[in-house]
Amino acid sequence: MAIRICPSILNADHSRLKDEITAVATADLLHLDVMDNIFVPNQTFSITECREIIQFSTLPVDTHLMIIDPDVKAVLYAQAGSASVTFHLEASAEPLETIKQLRAAGTRVGVAIKPNTPFENVLHLLPEIDMLLIMTVEPGFGGQKFMHDQLPKIEEARRGISLLNEKLPWLQVDGGLTIETIALAARAGADTFVAGSAIYRAENPAQAIRTLRELASQ
Ligand code: DX5
Ligand code: ZN
């Protein structure tokens, strides 16, 4: 199974963001966390900042929207040049419509679920999406502890995905992934891994990416 490592720039040093983005060029996707201080109690990049980051990044940008109203706003992040846009199921009244809009805008489509949202809520969307994101912390902040109680949900999602007969969506995990926890998530069936502090708090981000990749591949 192909493994993808997605550094999250949420906890990178924003005063030297270009250097921080360049430092992770050996990863697969750049993970961009967008928060509106409503869906989660934290606020991050504006759409203008997102556009600049997307233009600067040599990696495809994996935008993770933690905002209310994705049914209206998600498409803006596709138009801004994201390679993929992931929105939260909990924030969407019309997920199928939003998926359709994102697809029409030419981006890959992801749907995310928070720790308290059961996998079965997203089951009907699996054939329509390119990636399912299972949050392994409560969304909002980097540097939190991996929630081990999400491992059965990752296993359940892997089983559900393997029953599909056409294209299989990627299974992404986000939150608390470190050299201690990434192998657990990989063994449970994840193939796409977001890591913020494990990469940006490491002395050598490129080495951290290599180590995480090795641990996830075993
Ligand atoms: C949290 C964000 C994550 C965050 C992960 O809500 O969605 O992408 O940056 O950070 P770590 O890897 O430090 O848990
Ligand atoms: Zn994220």
Ligand 1 pocket (Cβ < 6 Å) reads: 8, 10-11, 31, 33, 64, 137, 139-144, 174-177, 194-198
Return mean pLDDT, the chain: 97
In this prediction, residues 111-117 reach a mean pLDDT of 98
In this prediction, residues 168-188 reach a mean pLDDT of 98
Q: Which domain holds residue 161?
A: 4-217
Name the closest-CA residue to atom 4, ligand 1: 142
**Domain count across the chain:** 1
pLDDT higher than threshold 90 for residue 34: yes
Which residue type sits at 135? M
Q: Is 33 a catalytic residue?
A: yes
pLDDT at res. 163: 95
Give the confidence band of 166 by pLDDT, cuts at 50, 70, 90: confident
Comparing CA positions, the residue from 129, 184, 188, 126 lying closest to residue 153 is: 188
* 198 touches 212 (CB < 8 A): yes
Q: How many helices (H) and strands (E) does the chain have?
A: 8, 8
**Which two three-digit tokens encode residue 213?**
């990749």
State pLDDT tens for residues 39-80: 999 999 999 999 999 999 999 999 999 999 999 999 999 999
**Which two three-digit tokens encode residue 3?**
């493994």
Give the confidence band of 167 by pLDDT, cuts at 50, 70, 90: confident
Residue 113 belongs to domain with CATH number:
3.20.20.70
